[in-house]
Amino acid sequence: MATDEYALIERAKSDPEAFGILYERYVGKIYNYMYYRVGNHYDAEDLTARTFYRAMNHIAEYTPRGAPFSAWLYRIAHNLMANWHRDRQRHQVFPLEDAVLRAEYGEEPHQISEQEDEKLRLLTAIRNLPEDRQQLLILKFVEGLSNIEIGQIMGRSEGAIKSLYHRTLVSLKELLAEHENLVKELAEEED
């Protein structure tokens, strides 16, 4: 951990303005993580706020253990998100505003529909993966973290993350192939 960040964390234990700097530094990453896990802006904003509220209330207990401060924040976020999923037998939400924004940039309606169908298939397949595999994909592709950083957040070695990543891609490929086969079977039944 960089000494300037460590000093900022120590200041944040007694200075709300210092915590505000940490908030500004990490709020975007935590929000993105939440959004890709819950699927809608409103719940992502709520869970992000809860993450930082909990971090602010417990920062005095934070001690660096060889992992970056962000790993601690992601762990809080992950725990809150897991509780949220457990508390709600929720259905997947795809905000209409996302499609409208794309339409404003000149894409043809059929292109938007095809892209949304493809996005929906991929997100459905990802959401059918175990929670740890979903977390891995979000941290790797949305947050752009390295295997080492992901390992620190998930409490696993770099080798374990590489292995999990490989198994995740194989599972995802199988889920997408199963979906494609089902679509073909349904199309043949209609004929």
Mean pLDDT score, 114-137:
82
Burial (CB < 10 A; 0-12, 13-18, 19+), residue 27, is middle
Q: Where in the chain is the domain with CATH 1.10.10.10?
A: 96-190
Of the pLDDT bands very low, low, confident and very high (cuts 50, 70, 90), residue 140 is confident
Residue ranges of alpha helices (H) inside 13-129 are: 16-38, 41-58, 69-87, 96-104, 109-127
The pLDDT value given to residue 73: 94
What would the pLDDT profile of 20-65 be if each residue is shown by its tens digit?
999 999 999 999 999 988 888 999 999 999 999 999 999 999 988 8
This prediction has a pTM of 0.62
> Class for domain 96-190, per CATH?
mainly alpha
21 within 8 A of 8, measured Cβ to Cβ: yes
The pLDDT value given to residue 90: 46
> Class for domain 3-87, per CATH?
mainly alpha
In Å, the largest CA–CA distance within the chain is 70
Q: Where in the chain is the domain with CATH 1.10.1740.10?
A: 3-87
77 within 8 A of 63, measured Cβ to Cβ: no
pLDDT higher at 98 or 138: 138
